[in-house]
Amino acid sequence: MPGIPVSGAFTKDNYPPCYKTIPDPLPKEVTLQEILTTMPREVFQKNMWKAWWNVAVSITFTALSIYLISISPWYLLPIAWAFAGTACTGLFVIGHDCGHKSFAKAGWLNDLVGITIFLPLIYPFEPWRIQHNHHHNHTNKLDVDNAWQPFRAETFYYRTAFLKVVLSAVKGPFWWIASAGHWIEHHFALSLFTETQRPKVVISLVALGVFSVIFFPLMVYHFGVWGLVKYWGIPWLGFHFWLSTFTMVHHTLPFLPFMELKDWTDARARLASTVHCEYPLWIEFLCHQINVHIPHHVSTAIPSYNLWKAHYALKARWGKYMHECEFGWFLLRDITTKCHLYDSEEAYSPFDKGLAKFEQKLKSS
């Protein structure tokens, strides 16, 4: 479709097996309302038994993972840490539902559960909620989306040498720590929020501050510095591995475009610029199906336990426009080695090729 680049290296007859679909472009005349009416009403209904069951699952398996860390010999600790990081990600997904008001009908309960369940992750709920809703309102909008924005060559080229190294790392082999940088950059400065937003932002930050000044000294006192690292620090990094990976894969594939404002529509962004990625069942269970991600972007009102039903309904009508892939080494390698610099006419390129092309353009101008 004009104005929306897709890499010519990919066709429906020639693509890596991790990509289950290479979708057709969604026609610009399709509206979000048309897509919403595809799904049955029940997918929007909240069920408090299911919501609290998810809370019980995440708390139980997080506690179990900490116990496993405590009894594991050194050679089994990596397995216990991986389990703990994944279980902690489930806590985040529950807070994620709260942030979208899809956990409970009562707004105060969404806020209370969201603030509380984010505390062990040292995540301020309200600042995250505001920034995350910005992502939903501007998904894959070039220069505006704040979740996993690609770099333009003309911007990246003029960065300092040090910053180029850092940015190259988080778009490449160190993608798994990118969410920690986003956490620091976007969630703690009051200047990022409006006067209207700040009272609730302050409440979240104060709650997190009180928790931190109690939690960290107690951990060090009872378990020592290594205990803090062992029981919290490494699982926290595991949580950020999944948060970074999920965020990256949800909206980044070599042939999935970011759009200029003139080409962007809500329908394209939500249905056709969001990725459904299949993970091992134990990850899906612990993370409450958050990677059934297309219906979540079509409507954030859908609770996580209804995402599969919504996905099947969407697929029945709009399947040829939907991105589906399978998690694994080939997918991660493809994204982290190709999806670096972005050109609105030619889509993604690796850092070296994109910078070489830009330098050639500078010389010829």
H, E, C per residue of 25-92 = CCCCCCCHHHHHCCCCHHHHCCCHHHHHHHHHHHHHHHHHHHHHHHHCCHHHHHHHHHHHHHHHHHHH
Whether the model pTM is above 0.75: yes
| Residue 176 token pair | 């798994």
User: How far is it, in rounded angstroms, from Cα 340 to Cα 171?
Assistant: 6
What per-residue confidence (pLDDT) applies to 253?
92
Q: Is residue 5 part of a domain?
A: no
Is 30 within 8 Å of 288 (Cβ atoms)?
Answer: no
* Residue 14 DSSP class: B
Q: Is residue 7 part of a domain?
A: no
Tell me the longest C-alpha to C-alpha distance in the chain: 65
* Residue 271 DSSP class: I
What per-residue confidence (pLDDT) applies to 9?
45
Helix 107-118 × helix 198-228 angle, to 10°? 30
Bridge partners of residue 136, in order along the sequence? none
Q: Is residue 24 part of a domain?
A: no
Pairing between β-strand 275-278 and β-strand 347-349 as defined by DSSP bridges:
unpaired
Q: Is residue 253 part of a domain?
A: yes
pLDDT tens by residue, the chain, 365 residues? 434 444 444 455 567 789 998 899 999 899 999 999 999 999 999 999 999 999 999 999 999 999 999 999 999 999 999 999 999 999 999 999 999 999 999 999 999 999 999 999 999 999 999 999 999 999 999 999 998 888 999 899 999 999 999 999 999 999 999 999 999 999 999 999 999 999 999 999 999 999 999 999 999 999 999 999 999 999 999 999 999 999 999 999 998 989 999 889 999 999 999 999 999 999 999 999 999 999 999 999 999 999 999 999 999 999 999 999 999 999 999 999 999 999 877 789 999 999 999 888 888 87
What per-residue confidence (pLDDT) applies to 343?
86
The whole domain housing 360 covers 32-364
Q: Is residue 12 part of a domain?
A: no
Strand order in 151-152's β-sheet?
151-152, 341-343, 347-349
Pairing between β-strand 341-343 and β-strand 323-326 as defined by DSSP bridges:
unpaired
Place of tokens 């993370």: 287
User: How far is it, in rounded angstroms, from Cα 57 to Cα 62?
Assistant: 8
User: How far is it, in rounded angstroms, from Cα 56 to Cα 27?
Assistant: 43
| Residue 304 token pair | 């996580």
3-class state of residue 343 by DSSP: strand
Contacts of 189 (CB under 8 A, 6+ apart): none
Is 251 within 8 Å of 273 (Cβ atoms)?
Answer: yes
User: How far is it, in rounded angstroms, from Cα 347 to Cα 339?
Assistant: 9
Q: Is residue 350 part of a domain?
A: yes
Q: Is residue 10 part of a domain?
A: no
What per-residue confidence (pLDDT) applies to 7?
44
Place of tokens 């080494």: 329
The total domain count for the chain is 1
User: How far is it, in rounded angstroms, from Cα 22 to Cα 13?
Assistant: 9
Q: Is residue 22 part of a domain?
A: no
CA angle 111, 112, 115 (to 5 degrees): 80
What per-residue confidence (pLDDT) applies to 345?
78
